[in-house]
Amino acid sequence: MPGAGHAVTGPASAVSPERAAEAAEGSVEEHPCPVAVPSGTTCGYLLAPERRDVPNSRTIKVGYAVHRASQASGQAADPVVYMSGGPGSASLQLTGFLSQMFPGRDVVVLEQRGGRYSEPRLSCPEIVRGVVDTLRTPGPASAETTPLARQALACQSRLEAEHVDLRGYRTAEIAADVVDLRTALGYPRWYLFGVSYSTRPMLLAAARDPQGTRGVVLDSLLPAGSRWYDKASAALSATTTKLGVAARFDAMVKALDAHPATYETRDPLTHKRLTVQLNGDDVATILGEALHETDVIPIVPALVDGLAAGRTELLQPLVDAAGDGLTSHEWGLYYAVQCQDEAPYNSFPGSRGPRLFTGVVDAAVCDAWGLPAARADADLLTPHASVTQTASSGGGGAADTGPRWPVRPHHTAGGRASGGVGGAGRAVRRVRRVGHAVFLSERLQPSDDRRVPRRPGRDGRPCDPGAAPYPVVRPGDLLLTSSVYRLSRSPIPLAVPAVFLLVSAVQLVAGLVSLVRRRGGGLSALAGLAGVALGALSALSLSGIRDWTTLAIGVPHALAWYGLLALVSTGLSIVEAFRLNAAAAKIVPALTGLVLLAWLYGWLLA
């Protein structure tokens, strides 16, 4: 069968003849699980040659976990093997989630060689430090690559001193690990499940091991040869056009290039305060990355409009999230793969759109490392390649799939859904406005289509790919403010409305009691009622928001109008407090009302 002839066998290990034979045959050894996993799960390492094309290459350990299907479910269906994307993203932490997603099947979760739970682990904090230092200054990243290249060389030298051969960490070797693990675990065949980058090794593994492949599930397909570095800027521009904010996006980039924005955030390595200065290209890159997230996609039009209007503080949530993203990958593995499998097939031309700093950084690191280009191997999407009974989702092919990172154009046009693992042929599902990794989406709507995988924790029905998770927030739909996000970081200011509502409730009860006893109290009751109504209406307005991420950039306009109830309450309280013979305690509702008005209109809605 075409594609199967590319399979390779493992050479001997440099450690010992016995270990060499084990590695060549793809043996495994058990090891305690490094993360929390459900009962019935065992973990271990696949023993594999670091380079299968080099005789006597040393043996490395590739982490994996196996969750066995419950015997109560009867004869288990064909197992599923999953790998995360990246490259360089960890996988084992999803074992429990996947075991719920595929009940009645063994679920095998495989780390990438060089990943977080493999040995060696190819972390590269030097490169993270170089990227952070680049963001400290407002100049274009293309003019600041020399210090970054020095950091990249420092990482490369350290890894080589640890006897790591970076040429062994590429897509072909990762695909061979998938094939060897099936043999080592004794499964006659299984389903391959890949997301983003890992769709590449899964497709290659299917082509090399057609008899052992029951089907392929592809989520957020990244076909080989997509040249996404070269297409990234154009893809981001196409996305903003589809969202209807292309002109505002261009205005935002131009304004920030002229006057970079300053942000206080946290250093991802030291966790200390860090000041970064971001120009238009930097902010465009951050927004491109944010388009991977299902809950962020709907707010991008309103966010871009606000940034173009000078409301740069609205980007703070994404700036903070970007720092966390810098520690989410093993960057040594990421660049080993990218510099051999992706960068050599891109020309990195100048573009008329924003020059995204991810492409600039990756080109600088790959130039510094100087790794040879890997051979392009035929995979399942190569013409004439096939595999028995393939269930394919996550895309239809290179023709309609854009670059993977820093932005994928299908994020807003509709993500590619994870198709079911049962049945023959191809089952491709396009999901509306779902970000990267469709199977992880929290808000996929139910469907009656049995070919789409069920998400754990739902009502038992599969997701409906035609139902958009959240409505798009257009410019003008929100009263833009970053105060709610600041409240999420430090909720102390919430004491102001909490005290006001408590005082209003007491005021309402006391006023009603006085009315019953015919001792007056009408003004107090009305003031308390207005305050309580303000709290109830505000809560009702906020409860109607489906995407809570919306509150990171703004609140409903109704809150500003509901604030008039605070004005009414405060006015009545002031009148009550200054009536003849009024008790001294009557001044408390008036003071709390004045404080709330200052808080509401001077801070929250400012």
Question: Rounded distance, CA 407 to CA 222, Å?
Answer: 12
In angstroms, the CA 435 to CA 438 distance is 6
Write out the DSSP string of 495-531: HHHHHHHHHHHHHHHHHHHHHHTTS--HHHHHHHHHH
| pLDDT for the residue 221 | 86
Which element (helix H / strand E) includes 281?
helix 280-290
pLDDT of residue 466: 56
Dihedral sign, Cα of residue 559, residue 564, residue 570, residue 576 = negative
Tokens of 30: 């058990």
CA–CA separation, 264 vs 274, rounded Å? Answer: 6
Q: Which pLDDT does position 388 carry in this prediction? A: 39
- Is residue 302 within 8 Å of residue 482, measured between CB atoms? no
Look up residue 305 and give its amino acid: D
What is the number of helices (H) and of strands (E) in the chain?
19, 15
State the 10-residue block means of pLDDT for the chain, 606 residues long.
Answer: 32 41 70 95 97 95 94 76 95 95 93 98 95 85 83 97 97 97 96 94 95 92 85 90 94 95 94 94 93 89 96 96 89 97 88 80 95 88 53 34 30 37 46 68 45 46 60 92 94 96 95 87 92 96 88 95 96 90 88 96 92
* Whole-angstrom distance, CA of residue 302 vs CA of residue 304: 6
Who contacts 363 (Cβ-Cβ below 8 Å, separation ≥6)? 229, 343, 348
Q: CATH: 3.30.70, 3.10.450, 1.10.760, 3.40.50. Which one for 4-226+375-437?
A: 3.40.50
The Cα–Cα gap between 62 and 44 comes to 8
Whole-model pTM: value is: 0.84
CB-based burial of residue 186 (10 Å sphere; 0-12 exposed, 13-18 middle, 19+ buried)? Answer: exposed
Each domain of the chain, given as residue ranges in start order, spans 4-226+375-437, 479-604
> Side chain identity at 564, as an amino acid letter?
L
User: Residue 176: which of 379, 453, 360, 427 has the closest Cα?
Assistant: 379
